Amino acid sequence: MSEKMSEYILEMTNIEKQFPGVKALDKANLMLKKGSVHALMGENGAGKSTLMKCLFGVYVEDAGEIKIDGKPVRFTNPKQALDNGVAMVHQELNQVLRRSVMENLWLGRFIKKGGFIDDKKCYEETKKIFEDLDIDVDPKTIIGELSVSQRQMVEIAKAVSYDAKILVLDEPTSSLTKEEVGHLFRIINRLRDRGVGMVYISHKMEEILEISDDVTIMRDGKWIATKSAKDITMDEIIKLMVGRDLTERFPEKTNKPGEVLMKVEGLTGKYMPSCIDASFELRKGEVLGVAGLVGSRRTELLETIFGIAHRESGKIELHGKEIYNKDSRQAIKNGFALLTEERRATGIIPLQSITFNAVLANMKSYLKCGLLSTKKMEKDAKWVIDSMHVKTPSSKTHIKSLSGGNQQKVIIGRWLLTEPEVLLLDEPTRGIDVGAKFEIYQLINDLAAKGKGVMVVSSEMPELIGICDRILVMSNGRVAGILDMKKDYHGQEQEEIMRLAAKYI
């Protein structure tokens, strides 16, 4: 082995992986140094997660070689990977929500004494790991009672508990606040100082350049480039990812807000946490952003409007006529559509085809004499695939095999088939790459230009400022204020949003 190669704790060379109808990896490479953070970037569908799943034993590569500490390995299941010091924190958390934090941490490998589980020792070891990582969580707490960010930290602690020398973090900050991201970065820096090599997958450019030592870019399953993080810019990363220049992050706005489409007065949810006395207007052809800190109840506001969260008081008018969305079925009938925040948990049916997922909200229109018209369903599914530019081998492909961005496009297409007047979009670009984000921004703009009313919840303030006509700011369940983006805030829009977000805290 050459002296140069010996610096790498992990070497993945010429990795290939084929699925029915698609080549997911085509001679992909990744070289990870000991005690470094290596960002793995690319558009949705570029092959990042597939490459890491080959490393972790979820998939077995068809060709190529993987070496750890210079020795060839070929894992056929995750246990083999864990036993060899490779741990992975997946984007979608897989936890037993009704069991305790401690039980989730040691599941499948409980510390035993005399053939029985040693609860005391498990608790002590969990506390020791949490204290080492500055995680303030009681090991006996039921994990389903924790916030998503706390559950994310527990998952990272679990990976650390395996004494991993290679740690893969797949979109670890997608649900974290700025402060929580800072905490995560402190943990990452601590692990780096101990010699752990980390692969960091994220679509957040600012984070990548802040935390990484090296950056590898993939496109269409292929290795494109590896650069030192200090020697590459955000624009260069985007160009390598998408294979073209993106001169603008946001499309030109062509919509023109008109008359009031929806009026909300004193809307209050029945069960807490919920929105409280929310009043605002949504205009025809308007993109209305919804901003706020974690816990500000932005999602609850959309869910109460859509009828999947019970309303205590207040009213909603559409075209000047009062309507009542008692449930999602009634909401769809009244011309509403809701894109949920948790795409995989509440948005898709993973083991069903793209066709099934595309037509799911519009089933009544396919009924004829009590039978479903598969011909019409396939026709509409094809429209969704073509108009949303969904990358897929076939409409019969299981939606779970698509990238996050393509899954999101199918769901948006699903709702457009219902011909809604009001679209409620909750974090529509979470976990989606910069190229797919631009396409969704363009789609939102086009829908507004056709006279639809669009509400967009987002945790990314530049996104809201870039695509919205006005921004409604939530604070502790209340509407703290509404900012008109036509006004000149002298570049202080984010500061003004944060000021309002803290108004009722």
pLDDT of residue 489: 84
- In this predicted model, which residue has the larger pLDDT, 203 or 228? 228
> Which CATH number applies to 248-335+420-505: 3.40.50.2300, 3.40.50.300, 3.40.1110.10, 3.10.129.10?
3.40.50.300
Rounded mean pLDDT, 473-492: 91
Phi and psi torsions of 184, nearest 5°: -60, -45
Give the whole-angstrom CA distance, residue 70 versus residue 72.
7
Q: Which two tokens stand for residue 5?
A: 């190669």
In the predicted structure, residue 28 carries a pLDDT above the cut 70: yes
Q: Which two tokens stand for residue 503?
A: 């108004």
Phi and psi torsions of 252, nearest 5°: -70, 135
Q: Which two tokens stand for residue 468?
A: 């919205």
pLDDT of residue 247: 59
Give the whole-angstrom CA distance, residue 230 versus residue 214.
8
Give the whole-angstrom CA distance, residue 413 versus residue 434.
20
Q: Which two tokens stand for residue 48?
A: 């990042």
Give the whole-angstrom CA distance, residue 42 versus residue 220.
9
* Number of neighbours of residue 216 by Cβ within 10 angstroms: 25
Domain 248-335+420-505 in the same topology as domain 5-242: yes
| Identity of residue 498 | M
Peptide bond into 273 cis (omega under 30): yes
134-171 confidence digits (pLDDT tens): 888 999 999 988 877 788 889 889 988 888 999 999 88
Phi and psi torsions of 287, nearest 5°: -105, 110
In the predicted structure, residue 4 carries a pLDDT above the cut 50: no
pLDDT of residue 422: 97
Give the whole-angstrom CA distance, residue 39 versus residue 413.
32
* Number of neighbours of residue 1 by Cβ within 10 angstroms: 9
Per DSSP, 273 falls in state: S
447-482 confidence digits (pLDDT tens): 999 999 999 999 888 899 999 999 999 999 999 999
In the predicted structure, residue 101 carries a pLDDT above the cut 80: yes
pLDDT of residue 334: 96
Q: Where are the beta strands (DSSP E) in 48-187?
A: 63-68, 71-73, 86-89, 112-113, 116-117, 166-170
Q: Which two tokens stand for residue 249?
A: 């992050």
214-219 and 222-228 beta bridge pairing: antiparallel
Per DSSP, 386 falls in state: H
Q: Which two tokens stand for residue 337?
A: 């559509």
Per DSSP, 200 falls in state: E
Q: Which two tokens stand for residue 378?
A: 């396939």
- Closest Cα partner for 341 from 380, 297, 379, 310? 297
365-376 confidence digits (pLDDT tens): 898 888 889 999
102-115 confidence digits (pLDDT tens): 999 998 889 898 88
Residues 201 and 48 sit within 8 Å (Cβ to Cβ):
yes
Q: Which two tokens stand for residue 267?
A: 């809307």
Give the whole-angstrom CA distance, residue 65 versus residue 62.
10
Fold for 5-242, please state it. Answer: Rossmann fold (3.40.50)
Kindly calculate the radius of gyration of the chain based on its CA atoms and give it in whole angstroms. Answer: 24
- In this predicted model, which residue has the larger pLDDT, 345 or 257? 257
Residue by residue, DSSP assigns 430-483 as TT--HHHHHHHHHHHHHHHHTT-EEEEE-S-HHHHHHH-SEEEEEETTEEEEEE
Rounded mean pLDDT, 335-357: 89
Rounded mean pLDDT, 493-503: 89
pLDDT band at 245 (very low <50, low <70, confident <90, very high): low
Contacts of 427 (CB under 8 A, 6+ apart): 341, 457, 458, 459
pLDDT band at 246 (very low <50, low <70, confident <90, very high): low
* Number of neighbours of residue 217 by Cβ within 10 angstroms: 25
401-412 confidence digits (pLDDT tens): 887 788 888 999
How many Cα neighbours within 13 Å face the side chain of 225?
Answer: 13
pTM (two decimals):
0.67
- In this predicted model, which residue has the larger pLDDT, 249 or 121? 121
In the predicted structure, residue 382 carries a pLDDT above the cut 50: yes
pLDDT of residue 5: 47
In the predicted structure, residue 188 carries a pLDDT above the cut 70: yes
Question: Which residue is listed with tokens 């959309």?
Answer: 302
- In this predicted model, which residue has the larger pLDDT, 484 or 438? 484
**Lowest-confidence segment of 69-73, 217-221, 309-313, 344-348 by average pLDDT:** 344-348
Residues 159 and 87 sit within 8 Å (Cβ to Cβ):
yes
* Number of neighbours of residue 383 by Cβ within 10 angstroms: 14
408-428 confidence digits (pLDDT tens): 889 999 999 999 999 999 999
What is the layout of strands, in order, in the sheet containing 260-269? 278-283, 260-269, 311-318, 321-323
Question: Which residue is listed with tokens 């919509």?
Answer: 255
Contacts of 283 (CB under 8 A, 6+ apart): 257, 258, 259, 260, 261, 453, 469
In the predicted structure, residue 1 carries a pLDDT above the cut 50: no
Give the whole-angstrom CA distance, residue 227 versus residue 211.
14
Rounded to the nearest 10°, the torsion over CA 301, 304, 305, 310 is -160
pLDDT band at 438 (very low <50, low <70, confident <90, very high): confident
Query: Residue ranges of the domains in the chain?
Result: 5-242, 248-335+420-505, 350-418
Name, of 135-149, 204-218, 253-267, 335-349, the range with top average pLDDT.
Answer: 253-267
* Number of neighbours of residue 450 by Cβ within 10 angstroms: 10
**Lowest-confidence segment of 109-123, 238-252, 270-284, 384-398 by average pLDDT:** 238-252
In the predicted structure, residue 92 carries a pLDDT above the cut 80: no
Rounded mean pLDDT, 294-313: 93
In the predicted structure, residue 380 carries a pLDDT above the cut 60: yes
Q: Which two tokens stand for residue 470?
A: 């006005």
Share of the chain above pLDDT 90, in %: 61
